[in-house]
Amino acid sequence: MSNQYQTNQRRQARPGGGLRAVLWVVLLAGVGVNAWASVSGQNMAVYLTAGVVAVVCIAGLIVSFLSNRR
């Protein structure tokens, strides 16, 4: 039989869940723009900017993961 306190604790949303969702969406957009700009021969500044955005999102996701570990 499970402890009621533990069951309620598992149901609570993790802090920063909304931020992580936004970071994932921006990461996917940055990767998509990066791929599109590389394939279509756009200016180097376009895909470098998208790459930097992707790297910043990855760093944010790592920081969010590490700060919310239990």
16-38 pLDDT tens trace: 678 899 999 999 999 999 999 98
pTM tops 0.85, yes or no:
no
When the pLDDT of each residue in the chain is averaged and rounded to a whole number, the result is 84
> Count of CB atoms within 10 A of residue 23's CB?
20
Between 56 and 6, residue with greater pLDDT: 56
Tell whether the model's pLDDT for residue 6 goes beyond 80.
Answer: no
Q: Give me the count of residues in the chain.
A: 70
Cα torsion at 21, 22, 25, 31 (round to 10°)?
-120
Angle value at C-alpha 58, between 21 and 38, nearest 5 degrees: 105
